[in-house]
Amino acid sequence: METRRIHHFTAANPGYMTLDGTNQYLLGENEITVIDVGLSSKENIDGILKQVGTVGGKKIEKILLTHIHRDHSGGALALKKQTGAKLGISRLRAGYVGSEDFTYDDGDEIPYDGGRLRVIHTPGHESGHCCFYEPDQRILFTGDHILGRGTTVIPPPDGDMALYLRSLEKLLALKIRLLLPGHGPAIDAPYDKINEYIEHRLMREREVMECLRDGLDTIPTIAARIYAEVPAPLQTVGRLSIEAHLLKLIQEKRVAKDGERYRRSEAV
Ligand SMILES: [Zn+2]
Strands 261-264 and 255-258: antiparallel
Q: How many CB atoms lie within 10 A of CB 217?
A: 18
b/e 104-131 (16+ beta carbons within 10 angstroms → b): beeebebebbbbebbbbbbbbbbbbbbb
234, amino acid identity: L
- Cα(69) to ligand 1 centroid in Å equals 7
Mean pLDDT of 141-154: 96
Q: Where in the chain is the domain with CATH 1.10.10.10?
A: 199-264
Instruction: Tell me the C-alpha to C-alpha distance, in Å, between residue 265 and each of 128, 184, 204, 246, 249.
Output: 31, 39, 18, 12, 10
Residue 1 has pLDDT above 80, yes or no: no
Nearest Cα neighbor of 146 from 98, 178, 112 is 178
Mean pLDDT of 33-37: 98
What mean pLDDT, rounded, does the chain reach? 95
- Cα(36) to ligand 1 centroid in Å equals 10
Q: Where in the chain is the domain with CATH 3.60.15.10?
A: 6-188
* Whether the predicted model's global pTM rises above the 0.85 cut: yes
pLDDT at position 30 is: 95
Annotation: CATH topology of 199-264: Arc Repressor Mutant, subunit A (1.10.10)
SS (H, E, C) 66-101: CCCCHHHHCCHHHHHHHHCCEEEEEHHHCCCCCCCC
pLDDT grade for 17, boundaries at 50, 70 and 90: confident
- Cα(82) to ligand 1 centroid in Å equals 23
- 6-188 has which CATH code? 3.60.15.10
Mean pLDDT of 16-28: 94
- Cα(255) to ligand 1 centroid in Å equals 30
pLDDT at position 107 is: 98
- Cα(87) to ligand 1 centroid in Å equals 19
Mean pLDDT of 42-62: 95
What are the tens digits of pLDDT across the range 106-131? 999 999 999 999 999 999 999 999 99
Residue 181 has pLDDT above 80, yes or no: yes
- Cα(9) to ligand 1 centroid in Å equals 14
pLDDT at position 16 is: 85
Nearest Cα neighbor of 27 from 157, 155, 117, 143 is 117
- Cα(58) to ligand 1 centroid in Å equals 28
Pairwise CA distance, residues 187 & 172, whole Å: 15
In percent, the amount of the chain with pLDDT more than 90 equals: 92
Mean pLDDT of 130-155: 97
pLDDT at position 161 is: 97
Residue 267 has pLDDT above 60, yes or no: no
